[in-house]
Amino acid sequence: MSSIRILYFGRLKDAVGHADETLDWAGGTTGQLLAQLRGRGEAWAGALAEGQVFRLVVNQQIVRGDADIPPGAEVGILPPVTGG
Protein backbone atom coordinates (compact mmCIF):
# COMPACT_ATOMS: atom_id res chain seq x y z
CA MET A 1 0.00 0.00 0.00
CA SER A 2 1.26 3.52 -0.90
CA SER A 3 1.97 6.19 1.66
CA ILE A 4 3.31 9.74 2.03
CA ARG A 5 5.58 11.24 4.64
CA ILE A 6 4.32 14.47 6.27
CA LEU A 7 6.69 16.93 7.96
CA TYR A 8 5.40 19.62 10.36
CA PHE A 9 7.42 22.77 11.18
CA GLY A 10 7.53 25.46 13.85
CA ARG A 11 4.45 25.78 16.02
CA LEU A 12 2.61 23.17 13.90
CA LYS A 13 4.84 20.48 15.40
CA ASP A 14 3.64 21.41 18.88
CA ALA A 15 0.04 21.89 17.75
CA VAL A 16 -0.31 18.46 16.14
CA GLY A 17 1.94 16.74 18.70
CA HIS A 18 4.67 15.39 16.40
CA ALA A 19 7.27 16.48 13.87
CA ASP A 20 6.44 13.93 11.17
CA GLU A 21 4.20 11.01 10.32
CA THR A 22 3.62 8.45 7.61
CA LEU A 23 0.12 8.39 6.15
CA ASP A 24 -1.49 5.84 3.81
CA TRP A 25 -2.04 7.63 0.52
CA ALA A 26 -3.45 6.31 -2.73
CA GLY A 27 -3.16 9.70 -4.42
CA GLY A 28 -4.84 13.11 -4.20
CA THR A 29 -4.19 16.82 -3.80
CA THR A 30 -2.89 19.13 -1.09
CA GLY A 31 -6.46 20.33 -0.54
CA GLN A 32 -7.63 16.74 -0.01
CA LEU A 33 -4.76 16.08 2.41
CA LEU A 34 -5.53 19.19 4.48
CA ALA A 35 -9.25 18.28 4.55
CA GLN A 36 -8.40 14.76 5.72
CA LEU A 37 -6.05 16.00 8.47
CA ARG A 38 -8.54 18.66 9.64
CA GLY A 39 -11.15 15.88 9.84
CA ARG A 40 -9.17 14.22 12.65
CA GLY A 41 -10.95 16.49 15.16
CA GLU A 42 -11.12 19.93 16.63
CA ALA A 43 -7.44 20.12 17.64
CA TRP A 44 -6.34 19.28 14.10
CA ALA A 45 -8.90 21.56 12.49
CA GLY A 46 -7.63 24.42 14.66
CA ALA A 47 -3.95 23.66 14.17
CA LEU A 48 -4.35 23.49 10.39
CA ALA A 49 -6.91 26.31 10.00
CA GLU A 50 -6.48 28.66 7.02
CA GLY A 51 -4.29 31.32 8.75
CA GLN A 52 -2.10 28.67 10.37
CA VAL A 53 -0.85 27.13 7.13
CA PHE A 54 1.46 29.34 5.10
CA ARG A 55 2.79 26.99 2.43
CA LEU A 56 2.76 23.37 1.36
CA VAL A 57 5.84 21.72 -0.01
CA VAL A 58 5.64 18.57 -2.15
CA ASN A 59 8.88 16.71 -2.77
CA GLN A 60 10.92 19.76 -1.71
CA GLN A 61 9.04 22.12 -4.07
CA ILE A 62 6.79 24.86 -2.70
CA VAL A 63 3.37 24.44 -4.35
CA ARG A 64 0.55 26.96 -4.85
CA GLY A 65 -3.16 26.27 -5.09
CA ASP A 66 -4.47 22.71 -4.98
CA ALA A 67 -1.42 20.70 -6.07
CA ASP A 68 -1.08 16.98 -6.76
CA ILE A 69 0.57 14.77 -4.13
CA PRO A 70 1.83 11.57 -5.72
CA PRO A 71 2.09 8.40 -3.62
CA GLY A 72 5.51 8.18 -1.96
CA ALA A 73 5.83 11.97 -1.71
CA GLU A 74 7.35 14.00 1.10
CA VAL A 75 4.88 16.75 2.11
CA GLY A 76 5.96 19.69 4.26
CA ILE A 77 3.26 21.69 6.05
CA LEU A 78 4.63 25.16 6.87
CA PRO A 79 3.14 27.63 9.36
CA PRO A 80 3.63 31.39 8.81
CA VAL A 81 7.38 32.05 8.66
CA THR A 82 9.37 34.21 11.10
CA GLY A 83 12.94 34.30 9.78
CA GLY A 84 15.48 37.05 9.39
Partner 1 sequence: MHCDITIQTAPFDLGAEEAALRVHAGDAGALVAFQGMVRGHDAAIPLTALFLEHYPGVTEAEIRRIAGDAAARWPLTAVRVIHRVGSLAPGEGIVLVLVASGHRAAAFEAAAFLMDYLKTEAPFWKREHFADGSQRWVDAKASDGDAAARWA
Q: Are 18 and 45 in contact (CB under 8 A)?
A: no
Q: Which amino acid is at 9?
A: F
Single residue of 7, 29, 63, 67 touching partner 1 by CB under 8 A? 7
CB under 8 Å to 30, separation ≥6 — which residues?
56, 58, 63, 66, 67, 69, 75
Closer residue to partner 1, CB minimum distance, 72 or 80: 80
Closer residue to partner 1, CB minimum distance, 5 or 55: 55
- Does 83 help bind partner 1 (rule: CB under 8 A)? yes
Binding site for partner 1 (CB under 8 A): 7, 9-11, 14, 54-55, 57, 60, 62, 76, 78-84
